[in-house]
Structure 1
Amino acid sequence: MPLITQLFAALVFACLSFAAQGEKLRIVTEPWAPYVYEENGEALGLDYETTAIVFKRLGIDVQWQFLPWKRCLSMLESGQADGALDIFHSDERDATLLYPSEPLSDVQFVMFYANDRPHPFRTLEDLSGLTVGTSPGYLYSKDFSESTLFTREPAPTHEANFGKLLRGRIDLLITDRRVGQHLIDELGIRDKITENPLVISQQSQYLAVRRNAGMDLLVQRFGAELKRFKREPAYAELSARYGAEPAAMVKTENNTVAAEKTVEQHESSAQ
């Protein structure tokens, strides 16, 4: 066998070791409905089901764990997990993570306030002196994260953040638009909470795996198959089931116009 053929065969074997050796890919994620969540012991969500379909087509078995996001990041860093679902890309993470060429979905971070204590705003400067509920480990825009005008206060869960908002312990909370709207309905508080229309930041979320773990080819194949699946009627049906909307024009924090894509995560940061 020619040397180049031997090298290629070795690369393929290394990159597809999970399938070849019968091992399961260990993927961690945080419940982030409607993208990924559990209901009556069953894993659901637009990004979860999309990822599961793609991995099935690739012949890869997956072991899923649903954990708080900071724990997910810690397991990824320590090698206890092979990858994370619905994670944002950042320059710092390129040294440790591999990202497919195709994102799973897009998120739009917006803020919500209680109708009893309304705080509508047009710029971050309007939030001077207020307290904003956040989620540990999440990556927000630099302007939001570094502002000294207002206080950022984390909560262990998204549900806890809405509870603090209703009780007046925080003035607003920030989360993805679709996640927030889903929770408002789930908690039965639609008549008590209002979404501020200003988009603080918009990012794509991915399935990412650890770098230098022999998964380079797997990532390439995942991205190609994901892109292919997104063109199929099955993906359109899946998106419609989870309320994906047609592209729309929205205003961002810098007053620029951005296209809202059909789906939206979570993600969180590597901090």
Structure 2
Amino acid sequence: MPLISQILTVILFTCLSFTARGEKLRIVTEPWAPYVYEENGKALGLDYETTAIVFKRLGIEVQWQFLPWKRCLSMLEQGQADGALDIFHSDERDATLLYPSEPLSQVQFVMFYANDRPHPFQSLEALRGLTIGTSPGYLYNTDFSESTLFTREPAPSHEANFGKLLRGRIDLLITDRRVGQHLLDELGIRDKITENPLIISEQNQYLAVRRNAGMDLLVQRFGAELKRFKREPAYAELSARYGAGPAVEVPASSVTTAHGKTVEQQESGAR
């Protein structure tokens, strides 16, 4: 068989193997509106809908599970899931995960404070002695994660963090800008909470899959189709619906800190 025919055969088998064997690609993710979430039993979100469209074009059926992020990472490590949606890239994860060349979106971590107890700031040094609400399984960057100036206090959900902020149990919380703005409307607290404009860190989000036989070809086709779809009017409409612009690629293993410098991203348990 000519080499080109062999390659095409392998690609075809990779893309059809799940459905041909009556299997589905098992993808895990955490609700992370407006990127991915459930509403009235229906999965929605910019990155979810984009991914679903790309997989449909590739002829791949997907089984989705929405779980806490630490559980998602555990399932990946134990081989109980084939991939994860909206995961950060790191050199450390390259040993077990494959990433498409094209990111789905970009996260910008900022902080929010209650209007009754305002804490506007322009550097992390201004947070001395304060308590910052965080999310389990997330690390943001070295400066924030290792600072001894303030206390980090996790909450079981993003909604719980905003509740603690309103009750004065924490001084600020950190989350993605779009996620925070979405929750302000969903929880009806836009008049009670303010976003501090300083970006603490930023990072691209991807769909990543475990390093199994043939998955490298699947990832290549996914990345190519994703890039093609993002050039279409349908993607522009989808982005506008969720208040997001096109993903802007940033260095895969680094983030921009509140000190204006670039550092390596710590990924032990990070999104």
Query: Compared with structure 1, are the counterparts of its residues 228 and 247 closer, same or farther at alpha carbon in structure 2 (3 Å cutoff)?
Result: closer
Report what 2:186 is aligned to: 186
Distance of 2:114 and 2:81 partners within structure 1: 38
Query: Compared with structure 1, are the counterparts of its residues 112 and 178 closer, same or farther at alpha carbon in structure 2 (3 Å cutoff)?
Result: same
Distance of 2:175 and 2:40 partners within structure 1: 24
2:105–2:246 CA contact under 8 A, matched in 1:
no
Instruction: Please list, as runs of the form range in 1=range in 2, the aligned pairs for 1:18-167 lying within 5 A after superposition.
Output: 18-167=18-167
Q: Cα distance, 1:20 vs. partner?
A: 3.7
Report the identity percentage. 84
Report what 2:14 is aligned to: 15
Distance of 1:244 and 1:131 partners within structure 2: 30
Deviations 1:28-48 (A, max 9, x none): 000011110000000000000
Deviations 1:73-107 (A, max 9, x none): 11111011000000111121111110000000001
Which stretches of structure 1, 4 residues or more, deviate above 4 A after TM superposition? Answer: 4-7, 245-248
Q: Cα distance, 1:11 vs. partner?
A: 3.6
Query: Compared with structure 1, are the counterparts of its residues 5 and 228 closer, same or farther at alpha carbon in structure 2 (3 Å cutoff)?
Result: closer
What is the one-letter code of the residue matched to 1:103? P
Distance of 1:200 and 1:233 partners within structure 2: 32
1:237 aligns with 2:229: no
What is the one-letter code of the residue matched to 2:144? F
- Which blocks of at least 5 consecutive residues in structure 2 are unaligned? 249-255
Distance of 1:245 and 1:51 partners within structure 2: 16
Normalization by structure 1: what TM-score?
Answer: 0.89
RMSD of aligned C-alpha atoms?
Answer: 2.1
What is the one-letter code of the residue matched to 2:111? M
Count of aligned pairs between the two proteins: 257
1:87–1:269 CA contact under 8 A, matched in 2:
no
Report what 1:262 is aligned to: none
Distance of 1:200 and 1:172 partners within structure 2: 13
What is the one-letter code of the residue matched to 1:67? L
Normalization by structure 2: what TM-score?
Answer: 0.89
